[in-house]
Amino acid sequence: MAMCSEDRISSLPDHILCHILSFLPLKEAVRTSIISTKWRYLFASISTIEFDDSLLSGLTDRNVDSFKNFVDRLLKFPDQVSLDCFRLRDGISWNDEDHDFDVSGWICAALCRGVKEIDLFLDYFGCVLTVPAVLFTCHSLVTLKLNAECRKIDVPSDVCLGNLKTLQLRNTVVDGDSIHRLISNCHVLEDLAFIECHLAYASALNIKTPSLKRLVLDLDVVEYGDFNNVVVINAPNLEKADISIYLFGFSDRETSATHLIQGIIQGICTVRSLNLTINDVIFRTCRLPIFHNLIKFEYGVLGSNGRETWLVEFLHCAPNLNTLTLNFLVVVETQWKVLHMEVPSCLSLHLKEIKILNFKGDAQMFEMISYFLDNAMVLEKLMIGMKSLSETQQSIVFNQLLQLPKSSKKCQVLIF
């Protein structure tokens, strides 16, 4: 039987081939130019361009100019298709003495091609992160991701990102005025994320975005001089929030954290889904609003006695909660057996699923599980993560869990 030698891939339309090439590393996409004359210049029309350290491997003084010329041609050829995504990854010394790369020019070229997503690792801009001002007035941008490597981003006075829906700032020192100027000029912003960011110099972080639906606040808050850090959130359409707050250098954490946390907790009370991670009971002195819309809550804490009291108080403020996930990373004394508090209505009426992560088989965890099994009247599923236990220990603990009385006859106990 004769083998078919037809090249079916090459017979595909050019726009489909370019879409396929967009999933390859740039170096691999360029190598396809030797396949045939049809493929020779296809790589120049790919819609996703990503620069990483693999492009510089083997680069010498002799061929660095050729590389720069190649990048210029790739980005600045006339009549090229618009870009879906332009990325500059970490691991590259773009600004060293040997390679005088025109990174700002590359960014501007991508913007001129109507790029929709830009993802920049800003280490190569030196100590002062002054990226091209045109980045902040690009009407084609839908997604902007900036990693500032523990420095502030210099946002110009003229900002207009009318189509930006996703903004992600990672490893950034938050300057309240600069960040507020950026956020307030993104009028259709739906996703906002501060990931591993540092709130040290900003007296206030003001998030006023009516269109915002999803918010991530992962902040290291450092006491600095006389600054009183305040986070204010005004996002009436917010649906999902992921909040992680870590305090450093505060002599009185509870008092210092009150005004910081109050603005956050009041500003997220409309959410349907909340992931809350804290390294202390910094919510203890805060006034809790009612979370009428909350149906999914994940709570992670590193320690502190009294966490069960605060958790029950929170559950009282989430009357329609359906799913609860708990992740207690540190074993501490608890008072679940003698907890003299009214049972939250969500336990009696709505809570159907509880997931407990990082279960170590300690007595305190058994007390907590027993409390929920006693009071969760409509519970359907209790899932417990026991990855830190051996198979023998898991079997023993599972049998012990099955002996605990349950108020809900539908409740299944599962381990993972």
What value does the mean pLDDT take over residues 350-357? 96
Token pair recorded at residue 187:
């009028």
Instruction: Tell me what pLDDT residue 234 has.
Output: 93
Query: What type of residue sits at position 367?
Result: E
- 413 forms beta bridges with 382
| Contact of 266 with 289, CB cutoff 8 Å | yes
pLDDT category of residue 56 using cuts at 50, 70 and 90: low
Picking from 276-280, 296-300, 359-363, which range would have the lowest pLDDT averaged per residue?
A: 276-280
- Angle, nearest 10°, between helix axes 64-76 and 103-112? 20
Instruction: Tell me what pLDDT residue 74 has.
Output: 77
User: Domain for residue 405, yes or no?
Assistant: yes
What's the domain count of the chain?
A: 2
| Contact of 119 with 85, CB cutoff 8 Å | yes
User: Domain for residue 307, yes or no?
Assistant: yes
| Contact of 118 with 143, CB cutoff 8 Å | yes
What value does the mean pLDDT take over residues 316-330? 90
Picking from 57-71, 298-312, 328-342, which range would have the lowest pLDDT averaged per residue?
A: 328-342
| Contact of 118 with 141, CB cutoff 8 Å | yes
Instruction: Tell me what pLDDT residue 172 has.
Output: 85
Give dist(CA 97, CA 290) in Å, integer. Answer: 57
Burial class (CB in 10 A: 0-12, 13-18, 19+), 356: buried
Instruction: Tell me what pLDDT residue 375 has.
Output: 94
Percentage of residues in the chain with pLDDT exceeding 70?
77
| Contact of 323 with 295, CB cutoff 8 Å | yes
- pLDDT score of 164 more than 90: yes
pLDDT digits (tens, 9 = 90+) for 125-140: 555 557 889 999 999 9
What value does the mean pLDDT take over residues 17-29? 74
Highest mean pLDDT among 47-56, 58-67, 357-366: 357-366
pLDDT category of residue 1 using cuts at 50, 70 and 90: very low
Token pair recorded at residue 410:
């539908």
Give dist(CA 177, CA 93) in Å, integer. Answer: 30
Give dist(CA 175, CA 393) in Å, integer. Answer: 49
User: Domain for residue 329, yes or no?
Assistant: yes
pTM as predicted: 0.85
User: Domain for residue 41, yes or no?
Assistant: yes
User: Domain for residue 356, yes or no?
Assistant: yes
User: Domain for residue 229, yes or no?
Assistant: no
Picking from 154-158, 287-291, 307-311, 322-326, which range would have the lowest pLDDT averaged per residue?
A: 307-311
Percentage of residues in the chain with pLDDT exceeding 90?
38
Let me know how long the chain is: 416
User: Domain for residue 152, yes or no?
Assistant: no
User: Domain for residue 131, yes or no?
Assistant: no
Which structural domain range is residue 23 located in? 13-46
Higher pLDDT, 22 or 303: 22
